[in-house]
């Protein structure tokens, strides 16, 4: 995987727009085509991330301290999904920046659907396995992989390939169990008391690993939408005020790290998919510490959706959870 470097400084509106357009073109092109475009590696050093609002309950905030010397977002392209995940973490400062010895780590892929990896409805199992491996390398005490599936959980965990891949690396794979949901006051604008899967309540660190997909209701499902998979109950009721619900969930679960699987992207007929013609091979992982920027970037690049079409991005930014102006954060790109 070749890598070139170039500094990109914020000197005015035209420079900012140029960087924004270049980042978008990178994702739209995908894989080797982006390398041919000569985009190489970028690092925006002068941008500032909005200050993170203090959580009402510190237990739910799993974030790490910001480091101005490190990027807030890494965009990695190549052939091997595991290598993409590994390099993305390295570009952000290495796994030991995020995971400490004796941490209980919960990894949250999308395992919602009874689909194969090629259908791109669930997170790539090779990416999940690599993150498990990285957590053990950092000295984690326990590594858990779990999700609250939409289809029958056992089928979803098996057919996605995630259960086998995670277990081979020594992770504890937990299927959702009604006995393990606890009623929690999420203290949101829409979400108040709701059943939450207890694995997410007891973690020291949480790593969010969604897959980039089209969604028939919200336009796209990325990192913030992936938090629906911590909830039990009648989740369809949340669709009535979907944007407020997404902002509430993002406020409640502030992850240690987010990696968006864009190796295969379900560009149409999501979130369930099923037709391979709806899948675009992009061979990319987007990782970072600003979940709002990551969602905004992928949504704009793959579906041309901005904040006006995705109001939850603005709502999350107003709560201090990140910025939807992804071109303004420190970003590193590598092929």
pLDDT at 114 over 90: yes
Verdict on whether the full-model pTM lies above 0.75? yes
Question: Which pLDDT band, with edges at 50, 70 and 90, does 34 fall under?
Answer: very low
pLDDT at 45 over 70: no
The answer to whether the beta carbons of residues 245 and 190 sit under 8 Å apart is yes
pLDDT at 70 over 90: yes
Question: Which pLDDT band, with edges at 50, 70 and 90, does 44 fall under?
Answer: very low
What is the average pLDDT across 144-161? 98
Question: Which pLDDT band, with edges at 50, 70 and 90, does 294 fall under?
Answer: very high
What is the average pLDDT across 185-197? 92
pLDDT at 39 over 90: no
pLDDT at 27 over 90: no
Q: Supply the pLDDT for residue 243.
A: 95
Output the average pLDDT for the chain.
Answer: 88
Q: Supply the pLDDT for residue 302.
A: 97
Report the DSSP beta bridge partners of residue 145. 107, 173
Question: Which pLDDT band, with edges at 50, 70 and 90, does 99 fall under?
Answer: very high
Maximum average pLDDT range among 17-26, 48-57, 106-115: 106-115
Place of tokens 């504890």: 172
pLDDT at 226 over 50: yes
pLDDT at 49 over 50: no
pLDDT at 158 over 50: yes
Q: Which architecture does CATH list for 5-334? A: 3-Layer(aba) Sandwich (3.40)
């Amino acid at each position: 995987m070749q890598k070139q470097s170039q500094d990109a400084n914020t000197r005015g509106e035209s420079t900012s727009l140029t960087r924004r357009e270049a980042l978008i073109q990178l994702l739209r092109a995908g894989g080797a085509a982006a390398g041919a475009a000569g985009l190489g590696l970028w690092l925006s050093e002068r941008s500032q991330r909005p200050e993170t609002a203090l959580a009402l309950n510190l237990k739910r905030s799993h974030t790490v301290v910001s480091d101005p010397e490190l990027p807030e977002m890494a965009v990695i392209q190549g052939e091997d999904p595991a290598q993409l995940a590994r390099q993305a973490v390295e570009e952000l400062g290495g796994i030991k920046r995020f995971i400490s010895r004796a941490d209980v780590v919960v990894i949250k892929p999308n395992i919602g659907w009874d689909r194969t990896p090629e259908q791109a409805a669930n997170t790539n199992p090779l990416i999940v396995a690599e993150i498990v491996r990285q957590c053990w390398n950092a000295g984690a005490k326990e590594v858990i992989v779990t999700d609250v599936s939409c289809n029958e959980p056992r089928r979803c965990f098996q057919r996605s390939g995630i259960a086998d891949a995670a277990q081979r690396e020594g992770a504890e794979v937990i299927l959702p169990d009604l006995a393990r949901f606890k009623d929690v006051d999420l203290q949101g604008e829409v979400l108040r008391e709701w059943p939450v899967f207890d694995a997410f309540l007891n973690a020291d660190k949480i790593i969010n690993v969604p897959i980039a997909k089209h969604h028939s209701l919200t336009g796209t499902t990325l990192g913030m939408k992936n938090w629906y998979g911590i909830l039990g109950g009648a989740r369809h009721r949340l669709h009535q005020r979907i944007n407020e619900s997404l902002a509430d969930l993002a406020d409640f679960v502030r992850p240690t790290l987010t990696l968006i699987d864009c190796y295969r992207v379900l560009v149409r007929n999501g979130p369930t998919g099923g037709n391979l013609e709806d899948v675009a091979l992009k061979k990319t992982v987007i990782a970072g510490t600003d979940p709002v920027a990551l969602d905004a970037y992928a949504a704009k690049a793959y579906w041309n959706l901005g904040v006006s079409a995705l109001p939850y991005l603005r709502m999350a930014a107003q709560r201090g959870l990140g910025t939807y102006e992804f071109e303004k954060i420190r970003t590193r790109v590598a092929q």
